[in-house]
Structure 1
Amino acid sequence: MHQIFRILASSIALTIAHPATARDVTSSVAKLDAAMQRWMPGIVREEKIGGIGIAVIRDGRLIWSGHYGEQSPGVPITPDTVFNTASIAKTVTAETLLALEAAKRISLDEPIASYVPAHDLDRDPRYKQLTLRILLSHRSGLRNWPDDYPDGKLAFDWAPGTRYRYSGAGIELAARYAEAKTGKPLRVLAQETVLSPWGIDRMAIGTLPSWSTGRLAMPVGPRGDYLDFTTLYPGLRDGSSIGAAYDLLTTTGAYGRLLEGLIAASASPSRTRSVRETILTPLNGDERYGCERRFTRRCPDRYGYAFGWQIHHYSRHRILQHTGNDEGETDLVYFSPDRRTGAAIFVNGANGWAAIARAVEIIGDEPELADYYRGLLAKLFDRQLAPLPPSKSKRQPSTASR
């Protein structure tokens, strides 16, 4: 990232009663509207990103969305803009696999080797140890992608289940197991088990649907230049993408509906909820995501990967979150089962972390998460913290939708 980031050190308080009254929500939304309109257009320009789309969940419901900047040169981002959300795809893959397991169509602990041929790996006896539970918690022992190896071939750096390493290739193997076991592509399985039951449209896995025509958020590189969509995402161009680890196309509103469904599904104890929320891979001390108190006021009491989600525990408070980032896109999604809050924040731009951190602080519902990302930005990018003055603007943005 080539610009000096200014990271927020204070958040705008946006409080609503629980359960919220209509008046509370209206007042809160007006404040959120005004604050985002005051800050986001300037951040888009300063950080050389195309734009940003935001959906906010409170009391388990999508209450507000805002859209700033451009999806392509001269074309504004709107509620209909379709973002390719990079690794956010892993959350939909995880929920699809959990739904299949709940229906007893697959197993989280069955070795995948009998169903998934992997010519780079299947001569190694460790390949027989891989299961969905290991793969979705990033303990496969594999690097992120084959091109991370000198010879371009996947190989184990250590035994599966023993250590953390983020691996998109591992997620793809998990999806291929589900496809082989059920005889259906992942995109069909997701539609059957999650998207259709939860009433979610404008979301597609590993494909360019007709409804995305003219609505795609073009990726923007670190220097602020628009990149070619099909060059950056060749699997979408040639139809080869599984979409399990990346290539999830969605609007902010569609992902907001997914968060609504997740919060509703977390209201009662269940085996699926337990799997989703049980940390399997602690991240304490991790070089990249490890929280350090010299940068962060309050680190999570416990944090790490569960089944497809990164989870933060602050006493009894839990936040499930996931990020996405590539050469032209930066994204964050999160939700809290206990506070019934959440957000989807999508940026078509490689320099999106400052905009995302500011958006989380302006939303104001998860100050612990905002503090965590301020700390990561200071740790990883040497960003100077700067307070965000309270917004006094009452102007309503024309780019926001409710």
Structure 2
Amino acid sequence: MHKITPLILSLFTILGCIDKKKNNGANQNTGATNEKFEKLSKDIPKWMDEQDVPSIAVSVIEEGEIVWSNVYGLQNADTKATDSTLYLSASIAKPLTAEIFLRLATMGKVLLDEPMAAYWLDPDIEDDPRAQLLTPRHVLTHQTGFKNWRRMTGGILRFERDPGLEMGYSGEGLQYLVRFLEKKLGRSFNTLANEVLFRPENMENSAMEDQDWYKGRLAWPYFPEAKWMQPFPVEKAFGAGGLRTTTVDYAKFILGIMNGDQVSKDLRKEQFEISLNQKERCLESATVPEACPNQLGFGLGWYVYAFEDETVIGHTGANMGERTLAVFNPKRKSGLVAMSNGSNGNQVIYKIAEAVGVHQGFIDIEKPKQKQ
């Protein structure tokens, strides 16, 4: 088993703390002396050891500022994780892809309801008349009619239902949108991301495809019993899950949303309006079904949880040996970003979410079920 000794735990607690003067956007006046965060700095390494999780990176937003960021543990078997370690975002890349589209739409370069077939038709569906119906809105609300991945339909992309009929989570849909944007605008998706999001939000440690500056910085996926894997290559922009980033960079992205940066008021409002209510689906899948609110479902790229006392915006991510979470409250301007390179990462991430005050209903819906 992958174990961390008490001595190493203490070392990680010391080394994992980011120097607030170099925290790349984190508030320097709050958090370091806050008892809540001091306690977390002691608890997180213990939780990691209990769950055999190699590393955790976390950033907390309060009152519209990054107030605390830390990184704990191991980037790989021989390297300590630091604030420059890059994590594969998994599915929390999807809201970022949505944001890129909304910024381009605000600039008048694309339209939410335009048929994508005029610029991109996947060869697998070019003879299906339903391909002519697909729009970016279908993608961002997960109503394309595709399965999550084409490997689930014999390696061939095909419609399971007409676009716009019902919600069906689909990474293939996000990739379809990426190809549409590249074809229509004539530039790579990573270039578009740099132009409209990464540079404006000062996200200097983020990219949608492999970069030379990744060298020596990638968190390696990890499974219990000391099984490390080489990081997954992302040779071509992968909008459904290929973002490599830090929690500080991702928190900057969330702050840009909460500040209304570079997206029209109408589109920003629509972004957080539930397209199709998914309460029944929640009741079937939630860890604590009674926590499901009367209204929840996808807006444009984000999942919206309309609890009676507050509305929470969030997205989870899971890949082989990697777990991620992004959740925020735009009204209170608070939020949490957490990333782990361990397959048991969620066992720690949701303890952190509770400790920093994320809405309990969200936690009860999304937290992993207890092991039997």
**Structure 1 and Structure 2 fold alike (TM over 0.5):** yes
1:118 paired with 2:111, answer no
Q: Bigger shift: 359-368 or 183-192?
A: 359-368
CA distance in 2, matches of 1:363, 1:296: 23
Give yes or no for contact 2:283–2:290 (8 Å, CA) kept in 1: no
Shift of 1:158: 0.9
Work out which of the residue numbers 38, 59, 68 in structure 1 matches 2:42. 38
Give runs of aligned pairs for residues 3-402 of structure 1, distance below 5 A: 26=30, 30-149=34-153, 151-207=154-210, 209-229=211-231, 233-234=232-233, 236=234, 239=235, 241-265=236-260, 270-286=265-281, 290-291=285-286, 295=288, 298-315=291-308, 317-374=310-367, 377-378=368-369, 382-383=370-371
Q: Bigger shift: 128-137 or 218-227?
A: 218-227
Per-residue CA deviation, residues 45-88 of structure 1 (Å, 9 max, x unaligned), is 22222210000000010010111111111322211111011111
CA distance in 2, matches of 1:82, 1:27: 23
Give yes or no for contact 1:329–1:347 (8 Å, CA) kept in 2: yes
Give yes or no for contact 1:51–1:71 (8 Å, CA) kept in 2: yes
Per-residue CA deviation, residues 303-354 of structure 1 (Å, 9 max, x unaligned), is 1111110111123622111111011110000111111101110010112221
CA distance in 2, matches of 1:317, 1:289: 23
> Aligned residue for 1:8?
none
User: What TM-score do you get using the length of structure 1 for normalisation?
Assistant: 0.80
Give yes or no for contact 2:71–2:81 (8 Å, CA) kept in 1: yes
Shift of 1:211: 2.9
Give yes or no for contact 1:283–1:289 (8 Å, CA) kept in 2: no
Code of the aligned partner of 2:124: D
Code of the aligned partner of 1:112: M
State the SS of the aligned residue for 2:35. Answer: helix
RMSD of aligned Cα (Å): 2.2
Code of the aligned partner of 1:182: L
Unaligned runs of 5+ in 1: 1-24, 385-402
Give yes or no for contact 2:293–2:306 (8 Å, CA) kept in 1: yes
CA distance in 2, matches of 1:36, 1:267: 35
Give the paired residue count: 344
CA distance in 1, matches of 2:354, 2:251: 18
CA distance in 1, matches of 2:204, 2:284: 32
State the SS of the aligned residue for 1:281. Answer: coil
Question: Structure 1's 268 and 154: CA in aligned 2 closer, same or farther, altered over 3 A?
Answer: closer
Q: Bigger shift: 271-280 or 126-135?
A: 271-280
CA distance in 2, matches of 1:316, 1:108: 31
Per-residue CA deviation, residues 357-402 of structure 1 (Å, 9 max, x unaligned), is 101001114333223334xx33xxx448xxxxxxxxxxxxxxxxxx
CA distance in 2, matches of 1:366, 1:69: 27
User: What TM-score do you get using the length of structure 2 for normalisation?
Assistant: 0.87
CA distance in 2, matches of 1:289, 1:113: 35
Give yes or no for contact 2:327–2:337 (8 Å, CA) kept in 1: yes
Give yes or no for contact 2:53–2:344 (8 Å, CA) kept in 1: yes
Code of the aligned partner of 1:221: F
Shift of 1:26: 3.9
> Aligned residue for 1:13?
none
State the SS of the aligned residue for 1:126. Answer: helix
Shift of 1:242: 2.0
Code of the aligned partner of 1:212: Y
Unaligned runs of 5+ in 2: 1-28
Identity of aligned residues (%): 29
Give yes or no for contact 1:283–1:290 (8 Å, CA) kept in 2: no
State the SS of the aligned residue for 1:319. Answer: strand
Code of the aligned partner of 2:56: I
Question: Structure 1's 141 and 104: CA in aligned 2 closer, same or farther, altered over 3 A?
Answer: same
Question: Structure 1's 372 and 35: CA in aligned 2 closer, same or farther, altered over 3 A?
Answer: farther
Question: Structure 1's 286 and 222: CA in aligned 2 closer, same or farther, altered over 3 A?
Answer: farther
Give yes or no for contact 1:138–1:165 (8 Å, CA) kept in 2: yes
Code of the aligned partner of 1:325: A
